[in-house]
Structure 1
Amino acid sequence: MTYGSLPENMNSAGESFETFTLVRKAKNNIKGWYFYSVASEPFAVSAVATYIPLLLEQFARINGVSVDDHSIKCTSKHDKCVLGLFNNSVYIDTSSFALYTFSISVLFQTLLVITVSGLVDVWKTVEFKRRVLIFFGVIGSLSLILISQLEVDQFYALPFLCIVANSSYGVVNVVGNSLLPVFVSDLIRVDPVQAHIDVDTLTSSVSGAGASSGYFSALVVQIISIGLVKKSKSHDNIQWATLFVGIWWIVWQSPIAWLLQDIGPTTTGQVLRPVRGEESAFKLQYLKYGWYSLFKALKHARLLRDVVIFLVSWFIISDSLTTINSTAILFSKTELKMSTLSLIIISILTMLNAILGAYFIPHYVSPKLKWSAQYTLIYIICWASVIPLYGMLGFYFENIGLKHQFEMYIMAVWYGISLGGLSAVSRSVFSQIIPKGRESTFFSLFSITDKGSSIVGPVLVGFLTDKTHNIRYSFYLLFALLMFSLPVLSMLDLARGKREAEELGRIESLNGEETL
């Protein structure tokens, strides 16, 4: 060994160790992203989809009166009941109480998400995003724990806590989704083994695995909840299940605290800088930056026509699918008289098939049939539209069209497949057509259309239910919305969308760092 060869070997060993460290951190970030899904997904697919609508309807029914005679307290013998609000100045259907609460919660969620997403774009560090995930995860989980302690006459406190919990989940969901393309790009950049893998392929794979792990987590929560919720119709049993979801959320998000780390220049650094002498004003403007970023993203929509097309179509699709779930739960409870335990079993069937849909559709079905991501979404929507179509048949036939409890179990399988497939494919498609480095802002747009669309659907269904006191009429609305989304989504061009995203990225690079 010569004198000159020693530094070369040492340098090689140092570079090898540094590469190993970066790869380990990149893989830990992917693991941490899975934990985010495992921790928070049960809230969306267990609490929001099952427990909270049932609790809201039960609280409303316990405090409600007969729809025909407001002097008679609502009992289990009354099929149709209404709840008097604001000193009985307004009466709404007990099912509508849940639907309106959900719409209001999504409105607040949307406002909060826009504000917080700007902060996340100011600080591009994984460390800051990790803190945001943990903080709002704690707020959301504590809200669920408080819900479990409410008395039946606190029917105003219940929707308030539901709004806080759902708003917190919205922030967690946006920040978590915005980390997906960053983590995938970092892994490909630092790991020689992954370097040859196409970024879109790896994004779809990680997204599908994350969706599957989230649904599996929700499945475990639902199975355990069977032991917490007995055949009794007591509201206390559902509150125990809600308590468990809150504890699950706060416990399983803990690994995020040490798994998520910054590993390179793609995830570090601040974009904005305060003007000297105006630091205090700059702190206040942090909160404005989300709206500034949103306005800028909308202003650049002319350069991102495929983002606009996708978001418009996704607004309609998400609104329909989310409302299908809440409508089906309330329909099963009020029209088919299904027990809470039966509804949990239906939710379990949904989760099982959502896991299968999230994994097999992007990994096996689409490649086998040579479907593009765009047409995969279209075929899944056609599949999902069968659910409201079948519910509509109940107006014309005596024995089919969701007239029996066993039909809901079949629909749960059908719905789960479509839900899982859409969850995996939609995030993958959207991440391909947004500018790099602007993930949080554009995923806030995704969240607005994904969750924010639910402001509209439940309100319309609630209005129909208040007027007719027959929730079955909502199936007409849901079917029409799904059909309307198809021609919009068919206008999407992924190749063009990628080019437009790259063009916008170049324009912003030429403009340099942003200032408020």
Structure 2
Amino acid sequence: MPANVRTPLLQSAGPLEPFITTAKHIFGWLAYGSGSGPQGVFSVGFLNPLLLMQNAHKHGVLESDLVTQCSVSPTEPCVVQLFGLSWVNTNSLVFVAGAISTFIQVLAMFTVGAISDYRDNRKKIVVLFTITGVISSLAIAMLPSHLYELHILLFIFADVSNVLCGSIYDSFLPILVRHSHNPDLHYLRRNDAGSILEEASSSSSEGDEECATDEEGPVLLENSVVLDAKHPEEHFHTALSTKLSSWAFCVYFSSTLIFQIVYVFLSYFNYFEKTLLRNGVLITAVWLLLSSIPLALFLKTPVEQTASRSFFSLLFGSWSESFQSLKHAMEIPAVRIFLFSRMFLVCALQTSLSAIVIYSRAYLGMSNFQLLITISSFTLLAIFGTLGFPTLTKSLNLSSLQTVILAAFVLPLAPLYGLIGDLPFTGPQIGFTSIADAYAVTIFLGFMVGGLHTYCRSIFSQLLPKGREARFFSLYAIVSQTGVCIGQVALAILSNVFEQLGPVYIFLTIILLSTLIGLLLLYRHNHFL
């Protein structure tokens, strides 16, 4: 071989055999969401933090003297010494664990995203991290309360596994859509099947070879069906992507709501009061394991890329490839604008939800049971959002992006209503002043979150180039986590400096207007999304 010819890092999977997405593939993909919802939202997001704080409080000491057990005076600030290094407030343990988990997630996504795009690693990685999350949760449920430090480590494992699984799980969507069969275009497959397969094989081979060079940017642009805007199945793929994303989120939130309703019932009647948290963590973990079986058995995708390197070579080279993809993704205006808009949107939504919980508990006297009702109401309306947004899109004859823009116009009404209530010339009946207002805002945000998450995932899946799904959805998850972090930091600063929510309302309004501007810029580039 001549010295100036490089061996491609990626190789074509050979002559492409026709692969068509079937109902069995979609069932395997949707079934996994029925377990990841309760695990991610209810167990990792609610039960685990409560159990961690409960265990730490049992073995903590009062902050005032660092000697007296917290059980003597439960209402006073309680601290524990982590790993013999420093004293940490028991209410802050979750934030400490969450910050560490987020940092690990960002590092891991750059590696996992790149590796998942090779061979059939995508499904293997989802199953591997699912098992890791299940084992971590089972260990947490059986852990003695005095081992709260080990609980923190296991909680981080469970949280990281959940986020990584969600990122790779999302990357299946564009593949399932791309290989779906459109009956209206059957004549194309029948009359020109040979040339289509030949073109697909050539495109895959060329795209694979280009990944090893510095010319990935044009490949990303040309291999993206929607960015190219000339593919005959463009409108079919757009509609199907939105439908599958809506179904997936509906399953995700519906299964979560079922677990929440059962928990609220048991909590209200004080059933299994001492072991309710542990049993909840245990049951959600087992259900996640069961829901992963259809994914492992039925979900199949074509092997569009193989690698000439070993697994460890891929592992060590994954960061370089991820940064290369990140660099070129940022050079594509539509992808860049959408990711920044997504970051602002997640920041605003997360800040809003956190502000509701903190303000309601601190200033409105919301009880734990009322908090459970609030969370369950949010989940229920999120289901309505996943179903209502497609109906709204169809009735108004809007595109997916136009629907998101319409929602972005409506979202600022919530912080503006709260801001009006803080004005000196308004009465106490206006603004965020009661628990009823907390319920109303939660219902509004739940509906918006369900629909917006569905449509954002659908839009982004249409922007992805073939063969880069996992690493691009890892980037999508990183951007979302960045938005969450920005929102949490901003809320912490504003809540410490100001006692009222007025500055938070102003911050939310600015962030939401930035989201709207970004979406309008995206619409200028891509009217057909």
TM-score tier by shorter-chain length is: 0.7 to 0.9
- C-alpha distance in 1 between matches for 2:415 and 2:241: 32
Aligned to 1:406: 436
Look up the equivalent residue of 2:288 and give its one-letter code: W
Question: How far off is 1:31 after superposition?
Answer: 1.2
Aligned to 1:490: 520
Matches within 5 A, 1:39-438: 39-59=35-55, 81=77, 83-86=79-82, 95-123=91-119, 125=120, 128-188=121-181, 198-230=236-268, 236-262=275-301, 267-274=302-309, 282-301=310-329, 303-361=331-389, 363-389=390-416, 401-438=431-468
Question: How far off is 1:288 after superposition?
Answer: 3.0
Question: How far off is 1:327 after superposition?
Answer: 4.4
- C-alpha distance in 2 between matches for 1:480 and 1:168: 33
Q: Give 5+ residue unaligned stretches, structure 1.
A: 1-17, 275-281, 500-516
Aligned to 2:201: none
Question: How far off is 1:63 after superposition?
Answer: 5.5
- C-alpha distance in 1 between matches for 2:154 and 2:496: 24
Question: How far off is 1:308 after superposition?
Answer: 0.9
- Cα deviation, 1:39-72, whole Å, max 9, x if unaligned, reads 2122233234433343445455555666777677
Question: How far off is 1:283 after superposition?
Answer: 3.3
- C-alpha distance in 2 between matches for 1:297 and 1:497: 25
In structure 2, relative to structure 1, the CA distance for the partners of 1:54 and 1:423 (3 Å cut) is same
Range 315-324 or range 244-253, more displaced: 315-324
Kept after mapping to 2: 8 A contact 1:93/1:469: no
Kept after mapping to 2: 8 A contact 1:381/1:482: yes
- C-alpha distance in 1 between matches for 2:524 and 2:462: 8
- C-alpha distance in 1 between matches for 2:330 and 2:504: 35
SS in 2 for 1:255: helix
Range 135-144 or range 321-330, more displaced: 321-330
SS in 1 for 2:79: strand
In structure 2, relative to structure 1, the CA distance for the partners of 1:81 and 1:254 (3 Å cut) is same
Kept after mapping to 1: 8 A contact 2:52/2:151: yes
SS in 2 for 1:288: helix
SS in 2 for 1:436: coil
- C-alpha distance in 2 between matches for 1:400 and 1:80: 34
SS in 1 for 2:248: helix
Kept after mapping to 1: 8 A contact 2:33/2:249: yes
Range 73-82 or range 112-121, more displaced: 73-82
Aligned equivalent of 1:447, options 457, 463, 477: 477
Q: Give 5+ residue unaligned stretches, structure 2.
A: 1-16, 190-232
Kept after mapping to 2: 8 A contact 1:49/1:326: no
Kept after mapping to 2: 8 A contact 1:119/1:289: no
Look up the equivalent residue of 1:272 and give its one-letter code: A
- Cα deviation, 1:73-124, whole Å, max 9, x if unaligned, reads 657987673535448976666544333432322221222222111111122x
- C-alpha distance in 1 between matches for 2:431 and 2:279: 33
- Cα deviation, 1:305-352, whole Å, max 9, x if unaligned, reads 111111112112113323433443444445444344333322221122
Range 393-402 or range 43-52, more displaced: 393-402
How many residues are aligned here?
464
- C-alpha distance in 1 between matches for 2:347 and 2:503: 16
Look up the equivalent residue of 1:99 and give its one-letter code: F
Look up the equivalent residue of 2:176 and give its one-letter code: F
SS in 1 for 2:138: helix
Range 221-230 or range 323-332, more displaced: 323-332
Kept after mapping to 2: 8 A contact 1:27/1:187: no
- C-alpha distance in 2 between matches for 1:395 and 1:89: 43
Question: How far off is 1:416 after superposition?
Answer: 1.0
Kept after mapping to 2: 8 A contact 1:385/1:482: yes
Aligned equivalent of 1:29, options 25, 30, 34: 25
Kept after mapping to 2: 8 A contact 1:26/1:186: no
Question: How far off is 1:462 after superposition?
Answer: 3.9
SS in 1 for 2:306: coil
SS in 2 for 1:188: coil
Look up the equivalent residue of 1:113 and give its one-letter code: M
In structure 2, relative to structure 1, the CA distance for the partners of 1:491 and 1:53 (3 Å cut) is farther
SS in 2 for 1:187: coil
Aligned to 1:502: none
In structure 2, relative to structure 1, the CA distance for the partners of 1:338 and 1:73 (3 Å cut) is farther
- Cα deviation, 1:131-179, whole Å, max 9, x if unaligned, reads 2222211211222222223444444333322211111112211211111
- C-alpha distance in 2 between matches for 1:91 and 1:465: 23
- Cα deviation, 1:287-312, whole Å, max 9, x if unaligned, reads 13432232111221354111111111
Instruction: Tell me the TM-score normalized by structure 1.
Output: 0.78
- C-alpha distance in 1 between matches for 2:480 and 2:356: 19
- C-alpha distance in 2 between matches for 1:248 and 1:385: 38
In structure 2, relative to structure 1, the CA distance for the partners of 1:44 and 1:368 (3 Å cut) is same
- C-alpha distance in 1 between matches for 2:53 and 2:356: 13
- C-alpha distance in 2 between matches for 1:73 and 1:468: 32
Instruction: Tell me the TM-score normalized by structure 2.
Output: 0.76
Kept after mapping to 2: 8 A contact 1:100/1:459: no
Range 68-77 or range 144-153, more displaced: 68-77
- C-alpha distance in 1 between matches for 2:87 and 2:143: 23
- Cα deviation, 1:207-229, whole Å, max 9, x if unaligned, reads 11111111111111212223443
SS in 2 for 1:355: helix
Range 142-151 or range 291-300, more displaced: 142-151
SS in 1 for 2:117: helix
Look up the equivalent residue of 2:267 and give its one-letter code: V
